[in-house]
Amino acid sequence: MSKEPAAPPFTPPDAPPALELRGIDKRFGAVHANRAITFAVAAGSIHGLIGENGAGKSTLMNIVYGFHRADAGEIRVRGRAVEIGSPQEAIAAGIGMVHQHFMLVENFTVLENVVLGVEGGALLSGGLAAARAELGRLARDYGLEVPVDAVVSELSVGLQQRVEILKALYRGAEVLILDEPTAVLTPHEADQLFTMLRSLRAQGKAVILVTHKLREIMAVTDRVTVMKQGAVAAEVITCETSPRGLAEHMVGRGVLLQVEKRPSQPGAELLTVKALEVRDRLGVARLKNVSFSLRAGEIVGIAGVAGNGQSELLEALAGTRSASGGEISFGGRDLVREQIDPRARRALGLAHVPEDRLRMGVVAGFSAADNAMLGYHDAVRFNRGGLRDEAAIRAACAEKMAEFDVRPSQPELRLAAFSGGNQQKLVLAREIYADPNVLLIGQPTRGVDIGAIEFIHKRLIALRDAGKALLLVSVELDEILALADRIFVMNGGEIIGELARADATEEKIGLMMAGVRVEVSP
Amino acid sequence: METYTLIVLLLAATIRVATPLLLAAMAGLFSERSGVIDLGLEGKMLGAAFAAAAVSATTGSVWLGLGAGILTAVALALVIGYACITHRGNQVVAGMAVTIMVVGLGPTLGLAWFNLGGQTPQLDGAGQRFTGVVWPWAETAREVPFPGVLYAELLSGQNLLVYFAAGLVPFSAWIFYRTRFGLRLRAVGENPQAVDTAGISVNGLRYQAVIISGVLCGFAGTYLSTAASSGFVRDMTAGKGYLALAALIFGKWKPWPTLGACLLFAFTDALATRLQGVALPVVGVVPVQFILALPYVLTVLLLAGFVGQAVAPKAIGQPYSKEK
Contact criterion met (CB < 8 Å) for B178 and A125? yes
Q: Beta strand pairing status for A45-51 and A95-98?
A: unpaired
Distance from the A18 Cα atom to the nearest Cα atom in chain B, whole angstroms:
21
For an interface test with B, the pick among A116, A124, A281 (most B C-beta atoms closer than 10 Å) comes out as A116
Q: Which residues contact B80 (CB under 8 A, 6 or more apart)?
A: B36, B40, B91, B94, B95, B98, B210
Q: What is the pTM of this model?
A: 0.76
Contacts of B178 in chain A (CB under 8 A): 123-125
Does A384 map to a domain?
A: yes
In a shared domain, residues A520 and A382: no
Contact criterion met (CB < 8 Å) for A107 and B190? yes
In a shared domain, residues A318 and A453: yes
pLDDT tens string B15-24: 999 999 999 9
What pLDDT is recorded for position A8?
47
Which chain A residue shows the shortest CA-CA distance from B189? Answer: A105
Distance from the B314 Cα atom to the nearest Cα atom in chain A, whole angstroms:
9
Domain count across chain A: 2
| Residue in B180, B194, B322 closest to A105 by CB | B194
Which range, of A34-38, A250-254, A421-425, B213-217, averages the lowest pLDDT? Answer: A250-254
Tell me: pLDDT of B294 over 50: yes
Distance from the B262 Cα atom to the nearest Cα atom in chain A, whole angstroms:
25
Does A430 map to a domain?
A: yes
Is B314 an interface residue toward A (CB < 8 Å)? yes
For an interface test with B, the pick among A31, A105, A125, A166 (most B C-beta atoms closer than 10 Å) comes out as A105
In a shared domain, residues A431 and A443: no
For an interface test with A, the pick among B179, B197, B202 (most A C-beta atoms closer than 10 Å) comes out as B197
Cβ-based burial of B36 (10 A; exposed 0-12, middle 13-18, buried ≥19)? buried
pLDDT tens string A181-220: 887 777 788 888 999 999 999 999 999 999 878 888 888 9
Of the candidates A90, A99, A94, the residue with the CA atom closest to the CA atom of residue A161: A99
pLDDT tens string A51-67: 876 788 888 999 999 98
Residues 253-312 of B with CB under 8 A from A: 311
Kindly provide the b/e burial profile for residues B175-204, where b requires at least 16 CB atoms within 10 angstroms of the residue's own CB. bbeebbbbbbbbbbbbbbbbbbbbbbebee
Does A15 map to a domain?
A: no
Distance from the A64 Cα atom to the nearest Cα atom in chain B, whole angstroms:
13
Q: Give residue B2's identity as a one-letter amino acid code.
A: E
- Helix, coil or strand: residue A325: strand
- Helix, coil or strand: residue A465: helix
In a shared domain, residues A265 and A375: no
pLDDT tens string B75-121: 999 999 999 999 999 999 999 999 999 999 999 999 999 988 888 88
Q: For chains A and B, what is the number of CB pairs under 8 angstroms?
A: 69
Q: Beta strand pairing status for A95-98 and A175-179?
A: parallel
* Structural domain boundaries enclosing A431: 362-435
Tell me: pLDDT of A314 over 80: yes
pLDDT tens string A302-313: 998 877 889 899
Contact criterion met (CB < 8 Å) for A103 and B178? no
Greater confidence (B311 vs A372) lies with A372
State the complex-level ipTM: 0.86
Contacts of B194 in chain A (CB under 8 A): 103-105, 113, 116
Contact criterion met (CB < 8 Å) for A112 and B183? yes
Q: What is the mean pLDDT of chain B?
A: 89
Cα–Cα distance between B241 and B179 in angstroms, integer? 28
- The phi, psi pair for B191, rounded to 5°, reads -150, 85
Contact criterion met (CB < 8 Å) for A103 and B191? yes
Tell me: pLDDT of A9 over 50: no
pLDDT tens string B157-212: 889 999 999 999 999 999 999 999 999 999 999 999 999 988 899 999 999 999 99
Band of pLDDT at residue B324, cut at 50, 70 and 90? very low
Give the containing element (helix H, strand E) for A326.
strand A325-330
- Bridge partners of A414, per DSSP, are A367
What pLDDT is recorded for position A508?
86
pLDDT tens string A247-263: 888 877 666 567 778 88
What pLDDT is recorded for position A270?
94
Most confident of A221-230, A487-496, B28-37, B230-239: B28-37
Q: Beta strand pairing status for A494-500 and A486-491?
A: antiparallel
In a shared domain, residues A343 and A440: yes
- Residue ending a domain, among A407, A435, A463, is A435
Contact criterion met (CB < 8 Å) for A103 and B199? no
Does A342 map to a domain?
A: yes
In a shared domain, residues A399 and A329: no
- Residue ending a domain, among A406, A435, A464, is A435
Does A21 map to a domain?
A: no
A333-334: strand order across its sheet: A285-295, A269-279, A325-330, A333-334
Q: Give residue B243's identity as a one-letter amino acid code.
A: L
Is B181 an interface residue toward A (CB < 8 Å)? yes
- Residue ending a domain, among A435, A455, A484, is A435
Q: Beta strand pairing status for A285-295 and A269-279?
A: antiparallel
Mean pLDDT, range A266-293, rounded to an integer: 91
- Taking a C-beta distance cutoff of 8 angstroms, is the pair A507, A493 a contact? no
Tell me: pLDDT of A10 over 90: no
Does A299 map to a domain?
A: yes
In a shared domain, residues A489 and A387: no
Is B195 an interface residue toward A (CB < 8 Å)? yes
What pLDDT is recorded for position B84?
94
pLDDT tens string A436-495: 999 999 988 877 777 788 889 999 999 999 999 999 998 888 889 889 999 999 988 999
Tell me: pLDDT of B124 over 90: no
Contacts of A117 in chain B (CB under 8 A): 184, 195, 198-200
Of the candidates A80, A88, A90, A75, the residue with the CA atom closest to the CA atom of residue A39: A75
Contact criterion met (CB < 8 Å) for B183 and A119? yes
Is B190 an interface residue toward A (CB < 8 Å)? yes
Distance from the A142 Cα atom to the nearest Cα atom in chain B, whole angstroms:
22
Which chain A residue shows the shortest CA-CA distance from B323? Answer: A67
Number of other residues whose CB lies within 10 A of the CB of residue A300 = 23
Contacts of B181 in chain A (CB under 8 A): 122
In a shared domain, residues A266 and A315: yes
CATH number of the domain bearing residue A334 = 3.40.50.300
Is B191 an interface residue toward A (CB < 8 Å)? yes
Give the A-side interface with B, CB within 8 Å.
65, 67, 86-89, 91, 97, 99, 101, 103-108, 112-113, 115-119, 121-125, 127, 167
What pLDDT is recorded for position A130?
92
Does A5 map to a domain?
A: no
> Domain ranges in chain B?
2-303
Distance from the A123 Cα atom to the nearest Cα atom in chain B, whole angstroms:
4
3 state SS for A197-261? HHHHHHCCCEEEEEECCHHHHHHHCCEEEEEECCEEEEEEEHHHCCHHHHHHHHHCCCCCCCCCC
- The phi, psi pair for A511, rounded to 5°, reads -60, -45
In a shared domain, residues A410 and A293: no
Task: Say what percent of chain A tops pLDDT 90.
Answer: 53
Cα–Cα distance between B219 and B221 in angstroms, integer? 6
Task: Say what percent of chain B tops pLDDT 70.
Answer: 97
| Residue in A116, A118, A122 closest to B194 by CB | A116
In a shared domain, residues A444 and A520: yes
Which chain B residue shows the shortest CA-CA distance from A125? Answer: B178
In a shared domain, residues A341 and A265: yes
In a shared domain, residues A338 and A461: yes
Does A142 map to a domain?
A: no
Assigned fold of B2-303: ABC transporter involved in vitamin B12 uptake, BtuC (1.10.3470)
Question: Any idea how long chain B is?
Answer: 324
Contact criterion met (CB < 8 Å) for A87 and B196? yes
